[in-house]
Structure 1
Amino acid sequence: MKNDFFTYQAQTTPHPLAMEISHADGSYIYDTNQKAYLDFVAGVSACSLGHKHPRVVNAIKVQLDQYLHVMVYGEYIQKSAVELTKLLAAHLPNPLEKTYLTNSGTEAIEGAMKLAKRYTGRSELIAAKHAYHGNTQGAMSVMGFEERKSAFRPLLPDVRFIEFNKEADLEKITTKTAGVILETIQGGAGFIEPKNNYLANVKKRCEEVGALLILDEIQPGFGRTGTLFGFQNYNVVPDIVVMGKGMGGGMPVGAFTASAELMDSLHDHPKLGHITTFGGHPVIAAACLATLEEITESDLMAQTLEKEKLFRELLQHKYIEEIRGKGLMLSLIVKNSDIANQIILESQEEGLILFWLLFEPKAVRITPPLTISEEEIRKGCDIIMKVLRKMED
C-alpha cells in the first residue's frame, strides 16, 4: 500500500507522514498495525465531533437510502440543504440569512470574493499579511505569503495587503475597495487573535467607504472558540461570512452567508453568477445538519473554554513560550522550529497526533475534536510533556 501511495497518489510535500489508516473512532485514529493514536488535530479542525460520530453517521445513512446527487446546485428543493441553511440563519446574527453551499472552504472564499465584486461593482480586494484562505488561484491571490505563491503568478490583479491588528493600515481601505477579507483568527500565521476591537474598526472603515467585510471562519467556525462562529467573540458582524472544515462532521463542504440583498445579486445579471454541480450535495448537507444540531443542542461550545483552561494549565514548560488561540483552536509557540518538529514527530511515535501551521515554523497545532474528554486531554498533554522532558536530557 505504501509503494502504491507514493507511486499513484500525488503528494503535497516531499516527506508525507504516510501513516496507513485502518479506522477511526471518537478521538482516536488507528493504523493498520492496530496502534491507536489520540487525535489532537481533528483532520486540521474538520472533525468537530470526532471520528464516526453516531449522529452524523446515521444522518448520512438515512440520506443514502433516499437519494444522492439529483441536480446541479440551486435548482431542486432538497430537504437536507434547506433545513441546514434555515438552521444556520437561526443561529447567525442579522442580516446574515442566505447561504450558498459549496464543495470546500476554498470554493466558498472564491464565491465570497465574486460576491463582493459583483455587489459593489469594484475590483480591489484587501487581505492581511500572512493570511491563508485556500489554494486555488483566486484564494491564493489573497494569501499574504509570497514564498508560497510566487511560483504560480500571475494571479488576480488589484489585491492589496494590510497588517493584521495594525489600525494605521485601515486607511488603505478606500472607495476603490470591493471587499476586505480577513481570518477572524489568523490560522497559518500562528493563531493570532484580533486585538483592541480591531475587527469592529475594520467593519466601521468598510462602512465609511462602501466596502464589504468578509470574515473567513473556516477554522474557528462551528463552536471551536466557545461560540458558533469566532466573530461572535469580537463585537462585529461581517457582511459575508465564509465557513467550511468543521461544519461537515468530517465530510467535504464549504459555504458563504450574507444578507438576502447581497446574495441575490449572484442570481441575475448575469444569471449563474456562481455555479457548482455538487455544492449542497444531499449527503453532505445531511452530515452538516446533524453536526450543527449536535453542536447547538449540546454544551460542547461552553466546554471548549473549560478545555482550553485545562490545556493551558497542563502545558507549561520552559520550551513553550506561549499558547495562542481561543477555545480548542490553540497553538504552542516554542523556542524554535527544531523543537516544534521534534514535539510533533516524537509525539506521533508515542501515540499522539499533532501538526504544523503553514507560516509559523515555531508553532504546534492543537485542534482536537470538540468532543474530546478531560481524560483524553490529560493523556495527550502527558505525552507532550514527556517528549519535552526527554528533550531536556
Structure 2
Amino acid sequence: MSETHTVPEPVGGWRDRFATAMMGSSPAPLTMLDRGEGCYVWDVDGKRYLDFLAGIAVNSLGHAHPVLVDAVSRQIATLAHVSNYFATAPQVELAERLRRLTGAGDAGRVYFGNSGAEAIEAAIKLARRNGQHKKILALHNSFHGRTMGSVSLTGKPALREPFDPALPGIEHIDSTIEALEATIGDDVSALVVEPIKGEAGVVELPEGYLERARELTEKHGALLILDEIQTGAGRTGSWFAFQQHGIVPDAVALAKGIAGGVPIGALVTFGRASDLFTVGQHGSTFGGNPLATAAANAVLGEIENAGLVENAARRGDELRAAILAIGSPLVTEVRGAGLLIGIGLGEPSAPAISARALELGLIINAPNDTSIRLAPPLIVGDAEIAEFLTLFTQALEATS
C-alpha cells in the first residue's frame, strides 16, 4: 500500500486553486482524491472511501489492479503513440477481441476513438452514411455525451438547448413500443438507444423494446445502434446488455469500463454496417493508440479470466435483494442489471443521501433527485457489500 501524498495547500487551498484554474463547466469537486486500491480510494487528508461508483462505471477492476498496472507499464516502455498511419499489435488484438466478445464475428469491424462521446460521433456519421437525408431517432431522457453531435442525440433539453441549433435531422421519441411503431419508417436512417438509461437513474427500457426495435429497423432498412458505453464490458451481468435480449444490432458504441480507467472509445459494427465507411471518412489521431489498447486488452482479459461477468450478475442480484431488505420507507424500487443499479426513492432526497454517504466514507451517485446510482467495480465481494449495506443504511436513516 503506497503512502498518502498530501497536496501543498497555499493560501486559499486546493478548492480555490481548482475554482480559479478550471473551466466554469466543471462542477465543484466533492473532495481531492490521492490514491486507490481495489474498491477503495483515499483523499489527500487520508480519509478512506468505499467506491461504489467506480468513476461512473469505468474502473472495472477497481483501483491500481496489478494486471492493468503491469500492462500499462510494459506498453509505455515501448510505444505509447504512433498515429493512425501505423498499426500496432495491441490495436489489432483488441479489435479482434471486441469482434469476438460482441459476437460481431468475421463480418464485424472496429473503429477506435478516445471516449464514449467520440464513439457516438462515429455512430452518427455511420447513420448518415446509411441515409444522409433521413432522420436519426433517439429517446427522450437519454444521454449520449456532450460534444455537439452526441448532445444533439441526448434527450435532455437542459443539456441540449443552451447549444442550439443542435445537429439537424435528429428526432426524440418516447421510450415506448407504441412510439417506436408510430415513428419508424423508410425515412429513418438509424435508431440510437441505451439498453439501460444510466444518467436517467438506471432506467430499463420496456419489456420487448429492443426485440421490436430490431424487427422494425430491419424492416425499414434503418440501423439499430446501441449505446453500451455504460452497460458494456460485463457491467450488467453479460458482456453486453443486448446479449440478454437475443438480438444482434448493427453497431455498438463502447467506452468507460473497457480499459479500466485509461481513456478509450470504440464503435463495433455488424454485418452490412461494416461496409458503410470508406477510407478517410472518419479518423482520430489518438484513437486506438497502443497504450490505451494494451490497457483494454489487459482489463477485458482479466474480466474474462477471473469470471467477473458472472460475478457482476451474482453480486448484482445480492445487492438488489439486500437493498430492498433494508426496509427503508424511502426506497420504492431497485432497478438495473448486474452491477449497474438504480435505487428509486419516494422523496427527492437522493442528493442528501449521496452527500451523507460521502461523509460516512461511501461514494455513490445521485443522477437526479429521486434516484441513487451504484456502479461498483466488478471485483466487488462479500466484505465490500457488507460495508456498503452498513454505510448506506446509515445514510438512509440520517435523511429519512
Residue 168 of structure 1: how far off its partner (Å): 4.0
Residue 13 of structure 1: how far off its partner (Å): 5.3
Residue 122 of structure 1: how far off its partner (Å): 3.9
Confirm or deny that 1:85 pairs with 2:87: no
In the other structure, the counterpart of 1:46 is 58
Residue 381 of structure 1: how far off its partner (Å): 1.4
CA distance in 2, matches of 1:132, 1:43: 17
Work out whether residues 314 and 378 of structure 1, in 8 Å CA contact, stay in contact via their aligned partners in 2.
Answer: no
Identity %: 33
State the one-letter code of the partner of 1:51. H
Residue 11 of structure 1: how far off its partner (Å): 4.0
SS of 2:366's equivalent in the other structure is coil
Work out whether residues 304 and 370 of structure 1, in 8 Å CA contact, stay in contact via their aligned partners in 2.
Answer: yes
State the one-letter code of the partner of 1:9. M
SS of 2:342's equivalent in the other structure is strand
CA distance in 2, matches of 1:150, 1:312: 36
Number of equivalenced pairs: 383
State the one-letter code of the partner of 2:167. L
Residue 123 of structure 1: how far off its partner (Å): 3.2
The CA deviation string for residues 77-116 of structure 1, in whole angstroms up to 9 with x for no partner, is: 2011110111111222245621101010100000011012
State the one-letter code of the partner of 2:287. G
Q: Which structure 2 residues correspond to residues 349-388 of structure 1 after superposition, within 5 A?
A: 349-357=359-367, 360-388=368-396
SS of 1:99's equivalent in the other structure is strand
Work out whether residues 190 and 331 of structure 1, in 8 Å CA contact, stay in contact via their aligned partners in 2.
Answer: yes
Q: Which structure 2 residues correspond to residues 12-31 of structure 1 after superposition, within 5 A?
A: 12=25, 16-31=28-43
Q: TM-score, normalised by structure 1?
A: 0.94
Confirm or deny that 1:348 pairs with 2:361: no
Q: Which structure 2 residues correspond to residues 216-295 of structure 1 after superposition, within 5 A?
A: 216-259=227-270, 261-268=272-279, 272-295=280-303
Work out whether residues 100 and 257 of structure 1, in 8 Å CA contact, stay in contact via their aligned partners in 2.
Answer: yes
Work out whether residues 356 and 398 of structure 2, in 8 Å CA contact, stay in contact via their aligned partners in 1.
Answer: no
Work out whether residues 238 and 313 of structure 2, in 8 Å CA contact, stay in contact via their aligned partners in 1.
Answer: no
CA distance in 2, matches of 1:137, 1:121: 18
In the other structure, the counterpart of 1:161 is 172
Work out whether residues 191 and 223 of structure 2, in 8 Å CA contact, stay in contact via their aligned partners in 1.
Answer: yes
Confirm or deny that 1:146 pairs with 2:154: no
CA distance in 2, matches of 1:155, 1:194: 25
Work out whether residues 137 and 190 of structure 2, in 8 Å CA contact, stay in contact via their aligned partners in 1.
Answer: yes
Residue 194 of structure 1: how far off its partner (Å): 2.5
SS of 2:142's equivalent in the other structure is coil
CA distance in 2, matches of 1:361, 1:37: 23
The CA deviation string for residues 295-338 of structure 1, in whole angstroms up to 9 with x for no partner, is: 1222111111221222123223111011110110001111222x
Work out whether residues 113 and 288 of structure 2, in 8 Å CA contact, stay in contact via their aligned partners in 1.
Answer: yes
SS of 1:266's equivalent in the other structure is coil
Confirm or deny that 1:305 pairs with 2:313: yes
CA distance in 2, matches of 1:237, 1:151: 36
Work out whether residues 354 and 372 of structure 2, in 8 Å CA contact, stay in contact via their aligned partners in 1.
Answer: yes
Q: Cα RMSD (Å) of the superposition?
A: 1.5
The CA deviation string for residues 134-155 of structure 1, in whole angstroms up to 9 with x for no partner, is: 0111111111111221111001
In structure 1, the gaps of 5 or more residues are: none
Structure 1 residues 168, 123: closer, same or farther in 2, change over 3 A?
closer
Structure 1 residues 97, 169: closer, same or farther in 2, change over 3 A?
closer
In structure 2, the gaps of 5 or more residues are: 1-13
CA distance in 2, matches of 1:6, 1:361: 25
CA distance in 2, matches of 1:119, 1:391: 51
State the one-letter code of the partner of 2:366. W
The CA deviation string for residues 248-292 of structure 1, in whole angstroms up to 9 with x for no partner, is: 111111100113643343224xxx111110001110111001011
**Larger deviation: 172-181 or 193-202?**
193-202
SS of 1:120's equivalent in the other structure is coil
